[in-house]
Chain A
């Protein structure tokens, strides 16, 4: 599998996905 960080778009999409995951974890933890 190709490393998503090799492309700029792969990096940006990975960043968005990571943001979404962390947001949901923290929102759940704060309830």
Chain B
């Protein structure tokens, strides 16, 4: 049982996390500037029509799988981490909270607004502009939060926690 929960669970958590944060960095480091450049010669339609919807599909589902696998790994220590009940779980608690806020941003702010931007749901031009700004800021917020999140995730166990937090 431990092999499934901890071994396979952690493997799944890391693989889904790489896909989630990898696509987050793709959006922020590549696609935002690519769309700005494409606006100059009207060549961005291919990105918004063919690339963005596919990237967003894997992005939002990878986010959910990452969180669920993370919760599975925490198991009986879920509350120790989220409620900061034991000092040893403080670092993973911070990582878990940051990841949870990021998951919220994906499903409550980024995805519903991207649906308006990409024309998956009907929206006026004014609504689209507002959605564009909200989705952008939520995505940038997640990029910012990903840095401490990854730090605390990688600093939360065994020899790494001892080396970093004493």
Name the one of A8, A15, A16, A22 contacting B152, with C-beta atoms under 8 angstroms. A22
Q: What residues of A have a CB within 8 angstroms of the CB of B144 in the complex?
A: 5, 11-12, 14-15, 18
Specify the main secondary structure of chain B where it touches its partner: helix
> How many residues of chain B are within 8 Å of chain A by beta carbon?
20
Interface size on A, residues (CB 8 A): 18
Interface of A is mostly: helix
Q: In whole Å, how far is A4's beta carbon from the nearest beta carbon of chain B?
A: 8
Residues of B within 8 A of A (CB): 28-29, 87, 90-91, 94, 137, 140-141, 143-148, 151-152, 164-166
Q: A residues engaging B (CB < 8 A)?
A: 3, 5-6, 8, 11-12, 14-16, 18-19, 22-23, 26-27, 29-31
Query: Can you list 14 A-B contacts (CB < 8 A)?
Result: A8-B28, A8-B29, A11-B28, A11-B140, A12-B143, A19-B147, A19-B148, A19-B151, A23-B148, A23-B151, A23-B164, A26-B94, A27-B165, A29-B90
